[in-house]
Structure formats: C-alpha cells, structure tokens
Amino acid sequence: MNKVLSLVLLIVLASCSILKNDGIKENNEYTTDSGLKYTIYKHNSNSLKVDSGDMVSVHYIGSLEDSTIFDSSYDRNQPITFKVGTGRVIKGWDEGLTYLYKGDSAVLVIPSDIAYGARSMGKIPANANLRFIVKIVDVQKPIKPWNVEGKKRIYLEDSLSYVIVEKGEGNGVENGDKISMQYSGYFTDFKKFDSSYDRDNSFDVIIGRHRVIKGWDKGILGMKLGEKRRLYIPYQLAYGEKGHSPIPAKADLIFDVELVKLQKVDYPIFDVLGKDTVVMDNGVKYIIAKKTDGKQVMPHDVVSIEYIGKLTNNEVFDASFDRGDSLTFEVSANKVIKGLDSGMLEMKIGEEYRFIIPYELAYGEEGREPVIPAKSTLIFDVRLCSKEDANISE
C-alpha cells in the first residue's frame, strides 16, 4: 500500500503547467492561514468549484507523515459523500475542498489542530498531521428558488395558486396516480426548510390519498411529466393553525416541485355485475365476486388479505395494492373495523368479496378526517390470500 501512495505522489510531481482562469498552478504547493497545505496535480478550473454547502463525492487515500495508509475509499470502491462546511468531516477537509473543482485531484497536508487534534482515532495517533490524496468525483450545488419572473400565476380555490416554471409532456396528474416528485420547500421569505434535491432522493406518493398536505393534493393535479411548478400554499392547506416542526403556526408555504415520474395505478376489477347481494344480521352487505372450495375463516385465525377501500362515490381512500403488500391480522380480535372483521368469517381462502359496510360498523359518527368523512358507508373489495388456523397461531 505504501508503494501505491509513493507512486501517486511521484505522479503529483511529474509536471508543472499554469492553469487559465483562476491562476492556480498544477503541482505548486499553497499554504493557507490555518496551516493547511494543498497541491493540485490535476485541475479543472472550468468545472464546478466546491463551495461550503455543496454536496460532494470524494475518493481519497489517507496517510500519516511516515506514509502509513490508515484509510482509503478505493478499498471500498465507494467515494464518500457529504455536505461541505457542516462538520461532517475534519476541519482541514471542510476548508481544503473549497479550493478544488469537480474532477480535481490534489494532496492535502493537514496539521493536527484542524484534523483530530489531541484525540487518537483508530490508526491515527494523537496530534498527528495527516496527508490525503483526494479526487473530487462529483459536486452538487444546493437548489435555489426557481426564477418565475414574467410567468403567469394561476389561482385556484381556497387561495391556492401556482406558476408553471417549465412545461411537461403527456397526460396530467389525476387523483389516484402514483407519482415521484423532486421538491424544495420555502417560507414566504424563501428560507428553505426542506428539499429532496439536497438528499438526491425523489418523494413518492399517490395523489388524493391525503398522504400529503391539501395544497399538494390539489396543486399537483394536472402536472405533466417533466413539468416544474411553483405552488403558493396558504396555511389552511398546509400545516394549519398549529404548524408542524419546523413549520410554525399559520405559515404560508412555497414549494418548487418537479414531476419526475407518473404512473397510472390499475386495480384488480372485482366482477360483481348481476350477482346477489347478501345482508348479514349486523347490516353488513356482501357480494361474492369469486368463490372457491378453500378453508373457511374461523374466529382468531390469522388472515392475509389484499384490499381496495372506497367511499360510495367510488373514490379510493386506501389500498394494499398501493404498497404492493397484503394486510395480516387476527380475526375477531378488534384489529380492523367491526364490519370487515365480521365479514371475514364469511370468506374462504382464494375468494373475492365486495363488502358494503355501514358507518356504524366502520368509523362511526365522526369518521376519520381528512380521509374518511363523518357517517361514511365504506366499500371494501377483499381478496383472501391465506390464513393460519387459530390453533396454529397460538
């Protein structure tokens, strides 16, 4: 390993050329006020410069003054990724990387007081000066508010409004669509409180399921793939009177949102046309869409079901198919609403039932806002996937 380090250092000293734009010379050693020394042996001054707050990916080899290597990202075949200037790394790195550009390779010689100081860290002894060979693999600038100057603001009901920053293509988002979004959230002074861009990770949600604030559920409707939109959301359609940390009470919000994926969700169709409706003693109704000769469900059996839950206007409020998973619970143990619990005792493995459940055996007088309105009769299309007999689960 020491031979590898020596070879790399020889490469560092191999040439000396003056770079354009910023005047930095390759293979010249520079010393900063903190005592940090850096030498850039491959320079890309026309690329993105690293600044505090940037998300960077860096490959590195770390060694002591005697050339003993104590760590290397190349051994893991994975660069380290972090936000510069946030204390995620030693001070010498937070400073030293800000002299570099994307694609640069350099040597940082870091005095102990901006490394680990008097602490010993594994193979690194106390008061050790450190040397790092680094390569800036990637630089991602923090997202900034989009420029909407001169663009038309479109007003919807309840003081919700939006601006189309960039147009998309294809079909618009509808309730029930599964979407992937990138977003940045700002207060009205454009102080950012959250951003998926900073995490380099999109946000997935099914629209119209009340899984996001009302301003999103309403403001994203009609967006097309690739579209960028700014949403202006009044607090009543955001986090309301009380707020939700870090959102203060009665906070109007601004979101810059980008639609990166749109998927129309298709649910299984239960064939109930022309089939008899059975009314149970407790008022639950059911229609058998598919019959089998499977085992009958008994009290305290553990069942796994796939389901679609709908209001009487056919609006889907929940579905196991959204999650690609089944729901498992013990029957007759108050694990689900009463109407569904009692209805399960009618089913056999492999069967498909449509249950119509009166509000008294669902979520009652009050409902469960904002998902289930008060006094809501519910419809469940249920497929019984499997069951474990009560005596097996005990």
Maximum Cα–Cα distance across the chain: 91
Return the structure tokens found at 76: 């893991």
CA distances from 178 to 1, 134, 171, 221, 283 (A): 50, 41, 13, 12, 34
Q: Let me know if 190 is a catalytic residue.
A: no
Say how far apart CA 7 and CA 105 lie, in whole Å. 14
Q: Which of 61, 136, 207, 213 is catalytic?
A: 213
Residue 141 CA to residue 220 CA, distance in Å, equals 26
The number of CA neighbours under 13 Å toward the Cβ of 303 is 31
Query: Which of 186, 187, 193, 267 is labelled catalytic?
Result: 193
Identify the active-site residue in 51, 113, 138, 194. Answer: 194
Among 116, 132, 162, 183, the active-site one is 183
Q: Which of the residues 99, 162, 255, 380 is marked catalytic?
A: 255
Query: Strands 327-330 and 302-311: what pairing?
Result: antiparallel
Alpha helices in 52-152 (DSSP H): 73-76, 91-96
Q: Is 183 considered catalytic here?
A: yes
Helix/strand/coil (H, E, C) string of 217-263?
A: HHHCCCCCECCEEEEEECHHHCCCCCCECCECCCCCEEEEEEEEEEE
- As a residue count, the chain comes to 394
| Cα 180 to Cα 31: distance, rounded to the nearest angstrom | 46
State yes or no: is 22 an active-site residue.
no
193 is catalytic: yes
* 235 labelled catalytic: no
The answer to whether 194 is a known catalytic residue is yes
Q: Which residues are catalytic?
A: 183, 193-194, 213, 239, 255
